Amino acid sequence: MRVTGFKPLDELVNPVEKHWSIEFYGDPSILFPLIHYTVASRSSSSKVYLVHNVEFGGLHTPLLVRLCRIFECRMDNIMVSRSFRLNDTVKILEDLAAEKDSVVVLVFPYNYLPSDPSKYSEATRITGLLTRISVFNQVVIFNTISRYGYFMPEGGSMHHHAVKIIVRMARRNGRIVSQIVKHPVKSEGIRVFSEKLLETGVVVNSSRSLLAWIKG
């Protein structure tokens, strides 16, 4: 199954069931290009809801346009919501809980958690909604490294149990190392690829229609 549209990572995470939740976590600078791949590739065949929990920046239009040409994406299939605080995120996810057979892309869903460690339990509000949404949709999560755990994703232990597949992504000597942390049917797995491969919007071993080539 196509999850991100980026072949090395799709090979790493497969097999994947339709309603599983899949998470990639690490430094945001690594994840941002992958977010574009996911939105562009999945919109060619599914409704995509992008929930962007970032105050500034985010979508890089030239990269998204280039990937849309490659994947023949449908712009009218992409719905974007931007959150500026925790309650915004919760409200957006509550609305998405009614959706079915769509792809929900969550970008840094725990970004607005309180800085006070005693209030970290607020993360359960998001995790509970994530679980509800994934009953009828596929949820693809892009997450940061936890501020309270050693190289674990943000969200705490409840989040770790709720997500079906977790992949850690790290930068080493100009290359990206992607490693399975959790998978229902794989005990381990790793892929290493050039960071430039992500940044330039090149799809390995891909094919596209003649019309797409002419437009590109």
CATH code for the domain in which residue 17 is found: 3.40.50.300
User: What's the total number of domains in the chain?
Assistant: 1
Q: What angle do CA 12, 14, 17 make, to 5 degrees?
A: 150
Which pLDDT value is given to residue 51? Answer: 96
Which pLDDT value is given to residue 216? Answer: 47
pTM: 0.90
Tell me the per-residue pLDDT of 158-194, one tens digit each, with 9 for 90 and over.
888 899 999 999 999 889 999 999 999 999 999 999 9
**Residue 2: inside a domain:** no
Write down the mean pLDDT value for the chain: 89
**Residue 171: inside a domain:** yes
Tell me the per-residue pLDDT of 41-58, one tens digit each, with 9 for 90 and over.
999 999 999 999 988 767
**Residue 1: inside a domain:** no
pLDDT > 90? residue 62: no
Cis peptide before 15 (omega within 30 of 0): yes
Tell me the per-residue pLDDT of 27-44, one tens digit each, with 9 for 90 and over.
999 999 999 999 999 999
Which residues form the domain of 77?
7-215
pLDDT > 90? residue 118: no
* Tally of CB atoms within 10 A around 198: 22
Q: Which has more pLDDT, 180 or 209? A: 180
Which pLDDT value is given to residue 55? Answer: 81
Q: Give dist(CA 122, CA 71) in Å, integer.
A: 38
Q: Give dist(CA 9, CA 15) in Å, integer.
A: 12
